[in-house]
């Protein structure tokens, strides 16, 4: 099972993706060159093109796999709407905290997607919003939530939650659990009758 010297298909691929993720998050897609990605991986530019047809595909694949993973892990939750909503808040904050780079890219680099790729990503994001909207609608049906327009409330909640990753630092004054607790309370109060 000897492998040709210098052949590292199975290990270099993930490393290319990881390097691109890190660099795109740090400096922005447009500001990152294929050369800088290669340098981060420790190969020459040409080698990158064994793993991606071009830079655009690299961005698109990172966004898509992030959103697909997000959708896979975000279950509908169980119990009454209030419990499910509290669960969603905690899930969103924790998941986004654990993958700051991917989250940042998925929200900031939309305009660098080609029109076709943008549509795919928007569809996935929309499906994630639908998960939350369904919870809010269930709460309204239960008579426990008072929401004029569930679509607006959905977006308001997601914007609020996603904002956490722009300022939260592990080294700060508060633990992530403190933050979760306060956000759960604010979100529940915002929609409850």
Partner DNA sequence: GTCTATACGATGATAGAC
Partner DNA sequence: GTCTATCATCGTATAGAC
For 154, how many CA atoms within 13 A lie in the half-sphere containing its CB?
A: 19
Partner whose binding site includes residue 166, from a second copy, DNA, none (CB under 5 to 8 Å by kind): a second copy
If one asks whether residue 45 binds DNA (CB under 7 A), the answer comes out as yes
Q: Are 139 and 191 in contact (CB under 8 A)?
A: yes
If one asks whether residue 44 binds DNA (CB under 7 A), the answer comes out as yes
DSSP designation for 113: S
Helix (H) or strand (E) holding 190: helix 176-191
If one asks whether residue 43 binds DNA (CB under 7 A), the answer comes out as yes
Nearer to a second copy, 129 or 134 (CB): 129
Look at residues 106, 112, 105 and name the one whose alpha carbon lies nearest to residue 23: 105
If one asks whether residue 53 binds DNA (CB under 7 A), the answer comes out as yes
Nearer to DNA, 44 or 166 (CB): 44
Q: Which of 1, 20, 28, 34 binds DNA (CB under 7 A)?
A: 34
The phi, psi pair for 192, rounded to 5°, reads: -75, 150
Site residues, a second copy (CB under 8 A): 26-28, 30-31, 108, 111-112, 148-149, 152-153, 155-160, 162-164, 166-167, 174, 178-179, 181-183, 185-187, 189-192
Helix residue ranges, H only, the chain: 9-27, 34-41, 45-48, 55-73, 81-98, 100-108, 115-142, 150-162, 164-167, 176-191
Residues 6+ apart with CB under 8 A from 13: 51
If one asks whether residue 92 binds DNA (CB under 7 A), the answer comes out as no
The number of residues making up the chain comes to 193
Nearer to a second copy, 73 or 111 (CB): 111
Could you give the CA distance from residue 132 to residue 149 in angstroms, rounded to a whole number?
Answer: 13
Nearer to DNA, 26 or 49 (CB): 49
If one asks whether residue 115 binds DNA (CB under 7 A), the answer comes out as no
Min CB(87)–a second copy separation in Å: 18
Contacts with DNA by CB under 7 A lie at 4, 6-9, 12, 32-36, 38, 42-47, 49-51, 53-56
């Amino acid at each position: 099972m000897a492998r040709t010297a210098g052949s590292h298909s199975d290990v270099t691929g993930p490393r290319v993706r990881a390097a691109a993720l890190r660099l795109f998050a740090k400096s922005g897609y447009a500001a990152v060159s294929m050369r800088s990605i290669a340098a981060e991986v420790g190969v020459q530019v040409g080698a990158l093109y064994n793993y991606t047809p071009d830079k655009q595909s690299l961005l698109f694949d990172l966004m898509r796999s992030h959103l697909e993973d997000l959708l896979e892990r975000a279950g509908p939750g169980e119990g009454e709407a209030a419990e499910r909503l509290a669960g969603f808040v905690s899930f969103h904050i924790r998941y986004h905290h654990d993958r700051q780079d991917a989250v940042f890219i998925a929200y900031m680099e939309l305009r660098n997607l080609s029109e076709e790729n943008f549509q795919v990503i928007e569809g996935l994001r929309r499906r994630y919003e639908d998960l939350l909207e369904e919870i809010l609608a269930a709460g309204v049906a239960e008579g426990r939530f008072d929401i004029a327009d569930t679509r607006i409330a959905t977006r308001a909640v997601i914007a609020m939650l996603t904002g956490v990753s722009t300022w939260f630092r592990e080294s700060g004054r508060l633990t992530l659990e403190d933050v979760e607790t306060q956000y759960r309370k604010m979100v529940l109060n915002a929609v409850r009758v």
